[in-house]
Amino acid sequence: MSNAIIEVLLVEDDEDDYIITHDIFSEIEGTKFIIDWVRSYNAALEMMAQRQHDVYLFDYRLGEYTGLELLEQVRANGCQSPIIFLTGQSDHEVDIKAMEAGASDYLVKSQLTATLLERSIRYAIERTRKLEILQQRDEQIQRLAAIVESSADAIIGLTLDNTIINWNQSAERIFGYQANEVIGQSINILITKQIAYQFTELLDQHKQGLHIDNYEVICLTKAGKDIDLSLTISPIKGLSQEIIGTSIIARDITYTKRVEKALLKSEEKYRLLFEASPEAMWVYDIETLKFLAVNDAAIARYGYHYEEFLNMTICDIRPKEDVDRVLESVKNLQTSPMFSSNWRHYKKDGSLIWVDIASHTIQFNDRDARLVLAIDVTERKRAQEALIEERLMLTCRVEERTADLSLANAQLARAGQMKDEFLASMSHELRTPLNSIIGLSEALQEGVYGILNERQSTTLHIIEDSGYHLLSLINDILDLSKIEAGKFELTPDWIEVESLCQSSLAFVKQSATKKHLKISFIIDSQLDKIWADDRRLKQILVNLLSNAVKFTALGGTIGLEVTADAETQTAKFIIWDTGIGIAPEDLGRIFQPFVQVDSALSRQQSGTGLGLALISRMIDMHGGSISVESELYKGSRFTVSLPWQQEKLSTTNELFGENHSSLPNVIKRVLIVEDSSTTAEQLVRYLKDLQIETVVHFSENGVFEVVNRLRPELIFLDILLPEPVGWQILEQLKADITTNNIPVIIISVIDEKRRGLELGAADYLVKPITREQLQVVINKISPSTLLMVDSNMRLLPGNEKLAKDHSVNAKQRLILLAEDNESNIRTFSEYLEISGYKAIIARNGTEAITRARENSPDLILMDIQMPGMDGLEATRCIRADVELADIPIIALTALAMPGDRNRCLQAGVNEYLSKPVNLKGLITAIEVQLNRSQHAGSNAG
């Protein structure tokens, strides 16, 4: 203090007093005072606003103000510096007032000495300093108290005898006690009895100065509930560092404890799972790959002891070749669980097992480790392998079976194809001779070949009848097989019902008359037309009517009744008779093929039992049905119901416009392309009766030339010539702009009406053809242009040149006939001679070559199937011989198999004809070949 400078502001209105006071200051030794003097209240405030002094001396009287008022103002301005009053006289009351107002001292001027003044100033300064310190402490304490109060932890203060003296808000919250309930109480009210002793000991220990951190204890709340707390216990020290009490900071760790317990519990659970798992489990160190723990199942399965395991790495139980894969998979480990299959592990005994692995990263004893579950799938693997083997075997078997099946299928397809071929050749082979039988007997009866006597006529009639009978039988069989094979086709059209019924009745009229049967016919007038296949519907009616006639005794009645029901859109054809009837037990069977009722009466009648079977299928194909009612000896009644729509009728009138039927004779010239002379002659006769001229062309070759030359108004075209090339001819005729307007009517032994119509034919007739059929189709055709032949098959103008060429050529030509069948040799050679050729014979291939070399024939007819060297071989030899190579060869074969034609052509034949060979067709073929070779020869020459 002695060197310190003390700045003083003296507020004194009296100059003399100032001088006295200043002098007294100067008497004070050791302390330097800087004294500022102001004389008034306001000057004092001004000065104080400018700077602060260490101490203020105020005269008690300051003009109109008192020193007290100045003090109050100074304190109000925030100044805390010590203020000492100087006054003229001692006044105890003023003295008290000044002290109360905050003055540090009160000095009487008259008694003022240097010592007194110095002491008073020093005391005032010191007091102010201490007051400041106290104030700061107070603030600090308040701050601390606020911190204590706002702490989330309970803060409890204890005296040395463990009495609670502090209790903050969190303590209230945690323990449930208000401060006033616990202050003054022992800490033991918070401690459970079980640990009270232990806790007191702990508190005693810490009183030695020990600081205790995170002491976990269970305490009691006011509500008697256990509460987990973590305590920090510290001694409270007095000013001289002596321990005067204890502070306890208690943190509520109930939640943490709960989590810990749950964790412990789950750890326990997992430990149990690990231990008790029936599958091998282990933990290995991700870094060293060493086993860190294994369960009993692993020990049992792998055969290693626990310690042995712990001395191994996970690579030690793998086959060497798998180690790289193991290391790779460890390298790529993710923390998430992983599953992988197809691992192989060695057991201690050296055997290999297959395992699937599930693994998960865990912390184990502070190491990054992997928990592994290894499931032994060796058995499953074996089963799978067995299964795969089994499957392979099955696949093989299936393949074998498939191969067998494909073979069987191929065989079936082949069988189907053979059946089709058989059907086609049946229809051809059976209908062709029948066609001749029927056609020729008819021609003979008509006197074409001369006048017949009555016996001859009757005999021929029998032949013709039998021919027709046979034909219908063949037709039935073929139709039935076609239906069975799904190859039967209907060609429906709008047909006039009444005329169909009339013509069907006409069919049975003769036989009915013979038996003196009455015929009844009733037709519903609204039933004008029906959409059906006319030929088949007629076949149905004729069949039922014929049966009616057949099974009705002399003098009985048969009838045809046709009704129409617009509502049900049905037309009904009822064929009834008063004949022998059918027993109830037989009614169900009569629609089966080859079934005839075995009764004395019906056995008197001929038949095949095919008719009803066939027509019932046809009716079915029309979308209709057939039913029968019958009573023995009373008669039968067959009802055929067919779909019928009235409203369509009017739209179709044009199709069968009457104009067509009234213009039959507009056609003047018809070309018949037909290899069968019988059919051709028959057609020529029928057409002649209609005053139509005809030209017959016997071969499939040159049809276009003839058509273009003759410009016929109508063409009759056979399909089998004898190959089914008629289809191509039809297509070509229809494709060519110069010929496509000429109507073509197909005549064929094969029944493929739909195909014919689709290809553009105007109509389709199945041989043998009747006059009526021809009349009907001709009536349908509208006129165009043409020219003709006479009934003796003499060729008319356009064909005369060709005929002339034939005979001119023929007379000069030598034909070599290579054929082994004697009857064929006779037929062919005679026909060749008649036609003006010279024929020489060879009976096998070798002979044919020799004869050819000896005679240089103009043409060779070569049978293919011959003993020794066959026709194909002989052809090849001839073609290889320079001398003979140019001779035209026509192959004749009895086996019309697919591919035969090509084989023959490849061997070198010029033409191919299958037997039975149509003789006229043969001549045409010979002529074509001779003409060609002549042209070739002259060109070469």
| Residue 224 structure tokens | 């008697």
Nearest alpha carbon to residue 325 among 316, 317, 315: 315
SS (H, E, C) 705-717: HHHHHHCCCEEEE
Q: Tell me if 468 contacts ligand ADP by CB under 6 A.
A: no
Q: Tell me if 577 contacts ligand ADP by CB under 6 A.
A: yes
Distance, CA of 833 to CA of 855 (rounded, Å): 17
Distance, CA of 78 to CA of 223 (rounded, Å): 52
Q: Smallest distance from the beta carbon of 753 to ligand ADP, in angstroms?
A: 24
Q: Which is nearer to ligand ADP, 275 or 631 (CB)?
A: 631
Residue from 157, 439, 611, 921 touching ligand ADP (CB under 6 A): that is: 611
Q: Which stretch binds ligand ADP (CB under 6 A): 302-310, 451-459, 518-526, 546-554?
A: 546-554
Residue from 163, 313, 425, 602 touching ligand ADP (CB under 6 A): that is: 602
Q: Which stretch binds ligand ADP (CB under 6 A): 22-30, 45-53, 217-225, 576-584?
A: 576-584
Q: Tell me if 547 contacts ligand ADP by CB under 6 A.
A: yes
Distance, CA of 3 to CA of 716 (rounded, Å): 160
Half-sphere exposure of 121 (CA within 13 A, CB side): 27
Contact of 550 with 556, CB cutoff 8 Å: no
Residue from 597, 719, 730, 877 touching ligand ADP (CB under 6 A): that is: 597
Distance, CA of 871 to CA of 254 (rounded, Å): 116
Residue from 9, 190, 527, 590 touching ligand ADP (CB under 6 A): that is: 590
Q: Smallest distance from the beta carbon of 470 to ligand ADP, in angstroms?
A: 14
Angle, helix 454-484 to helix 611-621, in steps of 10 degrees: 50
Q: Which is nearer to ligand ADP, 447 or 584 (CB)?
A: 584
Distance, CA of 212 to CA of 227 (rounded, Å): 19
Binding mask 763-802 for ligand ADP (x = CB under 6 A): ----------------------------------------
Q: Smallest distance from the beta carbon of 463 to ligand ADP, in angstroms?
A: 21
Q: Smallest distance from the beta carbon of 434 to ligand ADP, in angstroms?
A: 19
Binding mask 329-348 for ligand ADP (x = CB under 6 A): --------------------
Residue from 361, 596, 728, 846 touching ligand ADP (CB under 6 A): that is: 596
* Locus of tokens 């035209």: 888
Q: Which is nearer to ligand ADP, 589 or 734 (CB)?
A: 589
CB-based closest residue to ligand ADP: 607
Residue from 44, 612, 719, 759 touching ligand ADP (CB under 6 A): that is: 612
| Residues β-bridged to residue 220 | 226
Q: Report the 10 Å Cβ neighbour count for 859.
A: 23
SS (H, E, C) 793-862: CCCCHHHHHHHHHHHHHHHHCEEEEECCCHHHHHHHHHHHHHCCCEEEEECCHHHHHHHHHHHCCCEEEE
Residue from 85, 167, 343, 551 touching ligand ADP (CB under 6 A): that is: 551
Half-sphere exposure of 480 (CA within 13 A, CB side): 19
User: Residue 748 is which amino acid?
Assistant: S
| Residue 394 structure tokens | 């099955």
Contact of 375 with 356, CB cutoff 8 Å: yes
Q: Smallest distance from the beta carbon of 558 to ligand ADP, in angstroms?
A: 8
Query: What phi and psi values does residue 246 have, to the nearest 5 degrees?
Result: -130, 135
Q: Which is nearer to ligand ADP, 547 or 701 (CB)?
A: 547
Q: Tell me if 548 contacts ligand ADP by CB under 6 A.
A: yes
Q: Smallest distance from the beta carbon of 557 to ligand ADP, in angstroms?
A: 12
Residue from 187, 564, 582, 710 touching ligand ADP (CB under 6 A): that is: 582
Contact of 501 with 521, CB cutoff 8 Å: yes
Q: Smallest distance from the beta carbon of 585 to ligand ADP, in angstroms?
A: 12
Q: Which helix (H) or strand (E) holds 664?
A: none
| Residue 392 structure tokens | 């392979």
| Residue 885 structure tokens | 């190579």
| Residue 456 structure tokens | 């001859």
Residue from 245, 579, 857, 888 touching ligand ADP (CB under 6 A): that is: 579
Residue from 545, 580, 692, 715 touching ligand ADP (CB under 6 A): that is: 580
Q: Tell me if 687 contacts ligand ADP by CB under 6 A.
A: no
Q: Tell me if 636 contacts ligand ADP by CB under 6 A.
A: yes
Tell me the number of residues near ligand ADP by CB under 6 A.
Answer: 21
Distance, CA of 700 to CA of 725 (rounded, Å): 7
Q: Tell me if 607 contacts ligand ADP by CB under 6 A.
A: yes
Q: Smallest distance from the beta carbon of 572 to ligand ADP, in angstroms?
A: 17
Q: Which residues bind ligand ADP (CB under 6 A)?
A: 547-548, 551, 577, 579-582, 590, 595-597, 602, 607-613, 636
